[in-house]
Structure 1
Amino acid sequence: MAFSVVSAVSAHAETTADSSSTLSPLVVTATSTSVSVADSLSSVTVINREEIKAQQAQEISELLAAQPGVDISSNGGYGKTTSVYMRGASAESTKFLLDGIPLYSATSGGAPFENIPTSLIDRLEIVRGPKATLYGADAVGGVIQAFLPEADDDAHMNVSVGGGSFNTKTIDATVSGSSDNTQYLLSAGKFETDGDIVKEGEGAQGYRNENILLNVGHDFSSGARISGLIMNSEGRNHYVGDENDYQVQVIGLSVSLPVTENWDTELKLSQTRNDSKTISSEDKYNTKTQTARWSNTISAGEHEFVLGAETSEDKVDVTSYQAPDRSNNAVFAQSQFDFGATNLQLNIRQDHNSAYGDSTTGGVAVGYKLDGIHTLRASYGTAFEAPTFNDLYYPSSGDPTLKATKSKTVELGVRADYDNMYWDAAVFDASYGDMVIWSNYTGSWAAYNVDSKVQGVELSSGLTLEQWQLKAALTWLDAKDDDTGFQLPKRAKRSARLSADRLFEKGRVGVTLIGADGRATTLGSSETLAGYVTMNLRASYDFAADWNAELSVKNALDKEYQTAKGYFSPGRGVFLTLNYSAF
């Protein structure tokens, strides 16, 4: 229905030969350099700060749910383990970057999406398809990059206080400014809730998060820039029968400078921690990753080249098993050629993993502009992913002989950009060799290598019409185990997302509908989780100078649904937030 509406109004959309519409924003993740989404040769979704604010999302999963090619599975409500599947690949095959810094757990392999506050996110970029040639292992299904807010030359102060259902309380404060070419931003916040019922017959399960971010940068007269950030998110999470303390920490330092007029170089150093400790048993799962990345961007007329090297090391401290440190060294190259109506992108990367040896990945993408509006694109890419430490060493169920996952993906797409609307369509065919899946389909719960075939269609569209903002996304996915024909678990066959917002002089109202088809619970099981449709309502109003109020109703239909077997998502919740901005 959404696409019928969009098609009906597209004939009335004003067009230009060189569309610079805000509906085609800039994206960095697809190529590691800045290009517009319209000119990108990848399937991309950008969620900017305005949209994040308008959605009034309390967790990243709200922003990602039912986006094209994206599946979300959560073990309940607030702060509970959240897995993100892209294009049918495993959750560990979704690369998550925080300001260019890879963030994941070396034990489970997944990113701690549930512990990254949305108040710290300035923009989200979702790039679908293999990007191992730029970002290494784990970028098999796609890459999600969250950008933290940066300070500008003007001083700002923002304070938000909120509360609502499930005894939820929030407070966030941000101060930013600059002095003598040095920009700074300091943000701190707290989110606390009693939560809702996660499992049948059990009580509500609470969650607490305290976070802080310091972002500092300095510009030199030579054009060089040095910047650093520290982000820490920690708290306590309540599960059925137990609770755990967690900490997610990111430290990054970046130095960039123009070597010549056509050559820029950047060195980025980072360290991340993802720690968890169970209160009753004091079992711990602590991981630390250190990364150094050197990249060089060279322009030659309309063409651009990226050359670089990267090294990383994973260290784990786990109560239940011993695991050796693991390192990865890589060199990579990317070339982008602009021949007017035709664009060509070539990528290649060589990785040496201390546990799995050498791996070469590559990619090629071609784009052709039919006119000033429509662009065709085609791409082929390979990727790999090393098994996690839990896959290899978890007591009685891990398997140290597991092989690394290798993938091949072919994609065809077309995009149209008008002055006030866009639409994008993509079809893909992906083969995942030796994908690691946890299942009991052979009689015991363990990690297995399986070969899988995934095919899909992704559609997305956006329209700005006077005071209305509309967005829609549809995904059809067929993800199966090659050997048995079983549907891969936790991947919905169909999903859809529709958002509509009406803007007024001093506020806005909006609704988001999210729907998903049924999905298999585990590999080899005939049991499926029922499909669902949820509705989120929202409104905001500028009731005084520098003051704003936000009201949201999450799961307004009070739908009882699960995205992981036995774990219920929260019921209806009503939340009110007051915002004050100064300077």
Structure 2
Amino acid sequence: MKTQCITPMFTKSFVALSLVSAISAYADTSSNSSFILPPLVVTATSTPVSMADSLASVTVISREDVKAQQAQEISELLAAQPGVDVSSNGGYGKTTSVYMRGASSESTKFLLDGIPLYSATSGGAPFENIPTSLIDRLEIVRGSKATLYGADTVGGVIQVFLPEASDDTHMNVSVGGGSFNTKTVDTTLSGASDNTQYLLSAGKFETDGDIVKKDKEAKGYDNENILLNVGHNFDSGARISGLMMNSEGRNEYVGDESDYQVQVIGLGVRLPVMADWDTELKLSQTRNESITVSSRDQYDSKTNTARWSNTFWAGDHEFVLGAETSQDSIDVSRYQAPDRNNDAIFAQSQFDFGQTSLQLNLRQDRNSAYGDSTTGGVAVGYKLDDTYTLRTSYGTAFEAPTFNDLYYPNSGDPTLNATKSDTVELGLRADYNNLYWDAAVFDASYGDLVVWSNYTGSWIAYNVDSKVQGVELSSGLTVNQWQLNTALTWLDAKDNKTGFQLPKRAKRSARLSADRLFDKGRVGVTFIGADGRAATLGSSETISGYVTMNLRASYDFATDWNAELSIKNALDKEYQTAKDYFNPGRGVFLTLNYSAF
């Protein structure tokens, strides 16, 4: 059985790699080609490293890519990225779950400028309430990163970087609207005084939405958001920075509506102690709150975190030592739960031996509900030549069940075990002048993975042991004025005991983006496709696969002025990523942007 599963994955992966390699012959030798540096990634190691040198499987969505996609929701940026499945209970503010490498949705760690953001009740991140206008850059790191970021990194880490306060004085105003009576307005102002930098951003998004369930009316969504980001540089090289992000509004769903608020407050201090030693302290508080309008049911969670990390350099080698403490507390109408604390110490070492690089990780957690847990990992990279880099890694992770998993009335189970995982990965990356491709194959064992299922007639949380195997492929090509990006994933995620496919994980997914650049604008298209997926664990019912197409165009029609046009779901495809919940149909949207200074 195992051989039958993995062999087709290897075959498909190598066929795809052959196609990409065939393109590279032209891409690398074209007289109009230009050398493109691989982007830097921070999340994989906590310090900047080139994607070409990363020992983890990573995807970076740059500021330019975020802008070009004209995404209205973060799910548009994440959908069908390598190893990523997105499930939504409709569109525009409806509950969105992200599954990485077949792990549960709460097994994906979400960071906002290094600050962990999640609901202590459900465990998932409030992806649906993060305005895309506040996304400056996005990084996806697949596979366990528990050593650096603690529990909840069984499947991987997604980090959103907010716009930074800098010395540049800048103002931007955007006004837009379109289908479903959608209206948007965003404004950003940044500047500096002496050694102090600031950035202030505010925005509003409102829509009547589209039909979420069959024979039901459209459900709307409103969001108001504000971001304040400040920093001060000292002559000694030290820096102190702070941010406050608040996103709130009202969300309509079948049967009711709710008022919500997501708030992040962070303070950071970075100090160069010596020439080869930097120390950094981060303090943060996040709130994730909602209250049902009719019943006044309340789901409020708060997380306080303090993290102290030290980075040392010895020649080409780097070492990170640190400690972290966090506390989760909730105020929920339907049940009570004690505060939960987690204390940890962690260490990471990165060795550069020329062609060979080595990374070692170790972390010790003490959870007030689940005791001690030791996780770690090892990764090795080898540069075959100036183009190809081979990597392999092994990592473990730990995740405590959420408060809903344990205590939700008639569904939770206080005896649930914590999830523990082991992941092995082998990857190969190639970097040419204007082309890259990356392929990875992984094998993960998730012990006591928490899965919710209603195949008995009511929703209940279970522990299941799961074996997940997959192949991920991504590539990017720039030729003349064309930019092409592709992603392919083959995934087999099953419950070991029953053989059932884990729900909401597509066996195959693909993403293709093509953009044509002009002197004063660009046009582009993105195709996103996914195979059918199981609706719930233990049920033979499946959710059909789909292919969607998004069109976009941008034009600089005057000095400091720009217009953007997008057609979402241009084929007007009726599709679902969660059982019985429809995503929005075709929508046309126009945005005007004005930039000054």
C-alpha separation in 1, matches of 2:584 and 2:206: 15
Q: Which amino acid aligns with 1:242?
A: D
Cα contact 1:415–1:422 (8 A) shared by 2 = yes
Per-residue CA distance 1:182-218 (angstroms, 9 max, x = gap):
0000000000000000000000000000000000000
Query: Could you tell me how far 1:240 is from its partner in structure 2?
Result: 1.1
Give the conservation status (yes or no) of the 8 Å contact 2:196–2:232: yes
Deviates more, 1:434-443 or 1:486-495: 434-443
- Counterpart of 2:548 in structure 1 is 534
Whole-Å Cα distance in 1 between the matches of residues 397 and 273 of structure 2? Answer: 32
| CA displacement, residues 395-440 of structure 1 (integer Å, 9 cap, x when unaligned) | 0110000000000000000000111010000000000000000113
- Partners of 1:442 and 1:198 lie apart in 2 by 25
Q: Deviations over 1:327-382 (max 9, x none)?
A: 00000000000000000000000000000000000000000000011000000000
**Cα distance change, pair 23–509 in 1 and its aligned pair in 2 (3 A):** farther
Q: Is the 8 A contact 2:365 2:373 kept in 1?
A: yes
Range that drifts further, 62-71 or 438-447: 438-447
Residue of structure 2 aligned with 1:299, choices 299, 302, 313: 313
Quote the residue 2:12 is aligned against: none
Q: Secondary structure at the match of 2:173?
A: strand
Match of 2:68 in 1: 54
RMSD of Structure 2 on Structure 1 (CA): 1.4
Aligned-pair CA distance for 1:442: 4.5
Spell out, residue by residue over 1:222-267, the C-alpha distance to the aligned partner (whole angstroms, 9 max, x if none): 0000000000000000011200000000000000010000000000
Aligned residues: 581
Distance of aligned partners of 1:114 and 1:525 in 2 relative to their CA distance in 1, 3 Å threshold:
same
- SS of 1:13's equivalent in the other structure is helix
**Counterpart residue identity of residue 222, structure 2:** R
- Aligned twin of 1:572: 586
Q: Give the match for residue 419 of structure 2.
A: 405
Q: Deviations over 1:291-336 (max 9, x none)?
A: 0000000000000000000000000000000000000000000000
Q: State the 4+ residue runs in structure 1 displaced beyond 4 angstroms.
A: 1-5
- What is the TM-score with the length of structure 2 in the denominator? 0.96
- Taking the TM superposition and a 5 Å limit, the aligned residue runs for 1:381-392 are 381-392=395-406
Pick from 110, 119, 128 the counterpart of residue 114 of structure 1: 128
Look up the match of 2:302. 288
Letter of the 1:560 counterpart: E
> Is 2:518 aligned against 1:467?
no
Q: Which amino acid aligns with 2:368?
A: S
**Residue 176 of structure 2 contacts residue 590 of structure 2 at CA under 8 Å; is this kept in 1?**
yes
Matches within 5 A, 1:327-366: 327-366=341-380
Is 1:3–1:461's contact at 8 Å kept on the other side of the alignment?
Answer: no
Distance of 2:494 and 2:455 partners within structure 1: 14
The match for 2:44 is 30
Give the letter for the 2:209 counterpart: G
Which position in structure 1 is the counterpart of 2:188? 174
Give distance in 2, aligned partners of 1:3 and 1:573.
Answer: 35
| Residue aligning to 1:270 | 284
Distance 1:521 1:2 in 2: 29
Residue deviations 1:498-530, cap 9 Å, x none?
Answer: 000000000000000000000000001000010
1:478-497 → structure 2 map (5 Å cutoff): 478-497=492-511
The match for 1:320 is 334
Gaps of 5+ in 2: 1-14
Q: 2:6 — aligned with what?
A: none
- d(CA) in 1 for partners of 2:184, 2:312: 45
Q: 1:208-287 alignment to 2 at 5 Å? A: 208-287=222-301
1:91 aligns with 2:114: no
User: What is the DSSP-based 3-state SS (H/G/I as helix, E as strand, rest coil) of the residue aligned with 2:26?
Assistant: coil
Quote the offset at 1:20 in angstroms: 11
Taking the aligned partners of 1:80 and 1:181, their CA distance within structure 2 comes to 42
Give secondary structure in 2 for the equivalent of 1:218. Answer: strand
For 1:103 and 1:22, locate their aligned partners in 2 and report how far apart those are by CA, in whole Å: 33
Measure how far apart 1:12 and its partner are: 2.7
Aligned to 1:12, what secondary structure does the other structure show? helix
TM-score (norm 1): 0.98
Q: Mark the CA change 1:9 to 1:376 in structure 2 (over 3 Å): closer, same or farther.
A: same
How far apart, in 1, do the equivalents of 2:570 and 2:18 lie? 25
- Point out where structure 1 has 5 or more consecutive residues left out of the alignment: none
Measured in 1, the distance between the counterparts of 2:542 and 2:111 equals 32
Partner of 1:232: helix, strand, or coil?
strand
Q: Please, which of 449, 461, 468 is the counterpart of residue 447 of structure 1?
A: 461
Contact kept? 1:23, 1:462, Cα under 8 Å: no
Taking the aligned partners of 2:555 and 2:20, their CA distance within structure 1 comes to 28
Quote the residue 1:155 is aligned against: 169
Q: Does 1:45 align with 2:59?
A: yes
Given candidates 436, 444, 448, the residue that maps to 2:450 is 436
Cα 1:211/1:21, change in 2 over 3 Å: farther
Aligned: 1:308 with 2:308: no
Quick one: distance in 1 between partners of 2:317 and 2:425?
Answer: 23
Aligned amino acid, residue 168 of structure 1:
T
- Name the amino acid aligned to 2:72: Q
Q: Specify the code of the residue in structure 1 equivalent to 2:421.
A: S
- Report Cα offsets for 1:47-98 as digits up to 9, x if no partner: 0110000000000000000000000000001000000000000000000000
Residue pair 1:2, 1:498 contacting (<8 A) in 2 also: no
Quick check: 1:140 aligned with 2:185? Answer: no
Alignment of 1:501 onto 2:515: yes
Query: Displacement of 1:8 after TM fit?
Result: 3.0
- 1: distance between equivalents of 2:441 and 2:136? 30
Whole-Å separation in 2 of the counterparts to 1:149 and 1:440: 42
Q: Is residue 2:141 matched to residue 1:127?
A: yes
Alignment check: 8 A CA contact 2:34 2:434 kept:
no
Change (3 A) 1:56 1:5: farther
User: Quick check: 1:2–1:472 contact (8 Å CA) kept in 2?
Assistant: no
Do 2:28 and 2:435's aligned partners in 1 also have CA atoms closer than 8 Å? no
The answer as to whether partners of 1:23 and 1:422 remain within 8 angstroms in 2 is: no
Q: 1:202 aligns with which of 216, 225, 228?
A: 216
Letter in 2 for 1:324: P
Q: Is the 1:441–1:524 Cα contact (8 Å) retained in structure 2?
A: yes
- Say if 1:3 and 1:472, in contact at 8 Å, map to a contact too: no
Instruction: Note if contact 1:6-1:463 (Cα within 8 Å) is conserved in structure 2.
Output: no
| AA partner of residue 289 (structure 1) | T
Question: What is the rounded CA distance, in whole Å, between the counterparts of 1:192 and 1:551 in structure 2?
Answer: 18
Cα distance, 1:4 vs structure 2: 6.8
